[in-house]
Chains A and B, each alone.
Chain A
């Protein structure tokens, strides 16, 4: 029944992810090299410079480049350690409340059951389950460094607006993130971007301190030092920009991979496709209002904070994702894409056989 070739999709997405991670490493190398050159040129300038040129000691430049690269990597590793591997911690930061095995609310029971089913399908220990209350958008996330400490969460909107088949598709997508170790990759990429942010900060601090020294005594080295600080700031911010673009690109590929993995678990592309259609059909879409959602955009099932598209988007466009699952999809005529809010809520609770008075808690 599945017309979707999940194995091929997984393979191509995995290759692209590796290329992007290599791209990140190269960018750090280039930035490190540029700073090494800059510093060596600055230190060598006063005495040895031939007229009109720069004297650069290659050993000095190389040493400094290495120090910068090691520094960025060390900062990144410390940041990764700080972000931690505990999925439950991330879930709580995003405003999630844990749902336990003894939940009685029908929506919560269904959610818990689906999480169990999908972890059996994936052959993983069941992750801890969270619900973000007061979020009307349809969204979900997965977090945690390894499967034993993983957590999945859904918004209130996802529980209220998705039926069993659709919610299964969404949870399967999140469990696929855990199975593919995407949550760990994302933490590492966040760490790398943070390392570049620190570079920018150092430039700012240098700049400020040179302003102070110049005031005290007229230092001839002040102008090149300013240039150096400026170099740090420019390279640092360029690096952060490039890092964000790469991070988003990695995220987009991993999202496509998780869509494929989810279909592998449920053997049913329809549930996931219909869940994506309902995001397109509702006014709240997949928006998450929690202030921490912005920095965790890449953890979510669909774009949590709007306004970012193209290079900075962490998810492929909705229509593109749906078409990958259902090649014949046409937004103009699709009945689910054009469903109104009330019909969506009714559809979601139909299988639970409960009335509109029964609410997701």
Chain B
């Protein structure tokens, strides 16, 4: 009789741990999946920029420095993206990626502000198309980032709150970093500010 009770208690405990573990795994997969979506959109953003620089180079003859800064910021952001992909959720990697994307956003904003001085450039179809594509990409990144942060928050809540926190550390579930872009306002406003 006593053995039966002990067995039942042990089985219930194991069942409890299994349920908690599975929940953590599900939440971890959700935020990783959400990060994959941001990754796709950031890649799209980075792929657009060399074409943009190529298109404006002929017109913006006096802005060599700015163009170089854009290229450099883009290369840096691309490097951070590669790194972050290898360490999804690592708070330091997320912060560095956010910083690099923020820097890229603000230097792009500067480029668009400068383009005001080049009427020929502003009138070119190519440039207008870039504006629409960049606006869309910024929006996609923003929506994907929102989805990632929501998923990361759900996961963090599970890792840090009772009772799942009791097993989270044992099985290697660590809290993950949110993705905040330092220069978020500039990024989202960039095309608007420059063209109004």
Contact = CB atoms under 8 A, between A and B. Distances in A.
Contact of A113 (B122, B128, B132, B195): B132
B147 interface: yes
B72 to A, nearest CB: 27
B128 A117 contact: no
Interface string B123-146: 000001101110110011001101
A109 B37 contact: no
B41 interface: yes
A117 B132 contact: no
B37 A117 contact: no
Interface string B40-78: 010000000000000000000000000000000000000
Contacts of B147: 120-121, 123
B132 A120 contact: no
Nearest to B122: A353
A106 interface: yes
Contacts of A121: 143, 146-147
A351 B150 CA distance: 31
A110 interface: yes
Contacts, number: 40
A117 B122 contact: no
B132 to A, nearest CB: 6
B41 A113 contact: no
A354 B37 CA distance: 32
B123 to A, nearest CB: 8
A354 B140 contact: no
A106 B132 contact: yes
B78 to A, nearest CB: 21
Given A352-B128, A353-B128, A353-B131, A113 B144 contact: no
A116 interface: yes
Contacts of A64: none
Interface string B71-99: 00000000000000000000000000000
Report the interface size class on chain A. Answer: 10 to 19
A253 interface: no
Contacts of A164: 135
Nearest to B44: A116
Contacts of B128: 106, 352-354
Give the size range of B's interface with the partner: 10 to 19
Contacts of B122: 353
A352 B122 CA distance: 11
A125 to B, nearest CB: 11
Interface string A93-109: 00000000000001001
A297 B143 CA distance: 31
A162 to B, nearest CB: 15
A39 interface: no
B131 A120 contact: no
Contacts of B140: 116-117, 120
Residue among A106, A110, A121, A354 with max Cβ neighbours from chain B (10 Å): A121
B133 A120 contact: no
A113 B135 CA distance: 9
B131 A117 contact: no
User: Which interface residue of A110, A114, A116 has the most chain B CB atoms within 10 A?
Assistant: A116
Contacts of A110: 132, 136
A82 to B, nearest CB: 36
Interface in B109-127: 122
Interface string B145-175: 0110000000000000000000000000000
Contact of B144 (A120, A265, A351): A120
Interface in B175-196: 195
A114 B128 CA distance: 16
A113 B136 contact: yes
Contacts of B146: 121
27 contacts: A106-B128, A106-B132, A109-B132, A110-B132, A110-B136, A113-B136, A113-B139, A114-B136, A116-B140, A117-B136, A117-B139, A117-B143, A120-B41, A120-B140, A120-B143, A120-B147, A121-B143, A121-B146, A123-B147, A164-B135, A351-B195, A352-B128, A352-B132, A353-B122, A353-B131, A353-B195, A354-B128
8 interchain residue pairs of minimum CB distance: A113-B136, A121-B143, A120-B143, A117-B139, A353-B128, A117-B140, A120-B144, A120-B140
